[in-house]
Each structure stands twice: as C-alpha cells, then as structure tokens.
Amino acid sequence: MISIIPPQSTGEWLAWASAIVTLIFGLLCLLTPRLSLRMLRLRTAEGVPQAVSESRATMAGFYLGVSLVAIAFNQPFIWMALGAGWAFTALGRLVSMVFDRGFTAFNAVSIVIEAALAAAPLLFAFGIIR
C-alpha cells in the first residue's frame, strides 16, 4: 500500500507545491475544459467536439498523471520528469515569443510561472535545495 508522507523539508515543500499546482491545472482541464481553454486564450471551432477533448485528455492527462505519481512516490526521477515537463513548456513559450512575435503580457507572466514550476522540483531532485 502506498502511504503519502507529507513534505519534511523546504525542498520537498517546493517540489510538492509544483505538483499541487500541476494537479489543480489538471483538474481544471478535466472538469472545466471550456474554462481552461478560455484561460489559455484558445477557442474551439463550432461543431468540433474533439477540440474540447484535447483539454480533458492531452492536457489533463499529463498534468494529473505526473503530479499524482510525483506526490505518491516522491522519487527524484519523477520530480525530474515534472520539472522537465514544465521547463520544456517554458522553452516552447520562449521559442514562440521569439519566432512568432508573441511578446505579450500573458506570455511574460506565463513563462515566469512555468519557470518557477520547473525550478521547484528540479532544485529538489538535484539536491540543490534540501
């Protein structure tokens, strides 16, 4: 049986905070896909229900899967996977800002949040913050 042990150190709290935020994003995408798409400034085409399923499946699936496994197992490689996922999300946003001329306030705030969500589990996994 898996027993979830609450965080014991600052590094664990940071990693858990990233996982909890990711879990909340996942629940938001799963339970309120249209709201989550609006928050991300995305629109679905009329008569294309599979567009909404992308929020429930692709986005919620990754967010929920990685965050729940990270919390349940509390292992360095899983924290690295969570951090790497957010790091590449931030990298993708940065590439878009440069090549797609996407320098907007929304993207600036988003990249800061994504970088923080990446840094927290990575700093813990690599033992930089214990």
pTM, to two decimals: 0.91
Residue 118's identity, in one-letter code, is A
Tokens describing residue 47? 């008569």
**pLDDT digits over 59-115, tens only?**
999 999 999 999 999 999 999 999 999 999 999 999 999 999 999 999 999 999 999
Residue 10's identity, in one-letter code, is T
Q: Where are the domains of the chain?
A: 10-125
Q: Look at residue 121 in the predicted model and tell me its pLDDT.
A: 98
**pLDDT digits over 9-65, tens only?**
999 999 999 999 999 999 999 999 999 999 988 888 888 878 888 889 999 999 999
Tokens describing residue 100? 């797609």
pLDDT at 3 over 80: no
Decide if 111 contacts 94 (C-beta within 8 A): yes
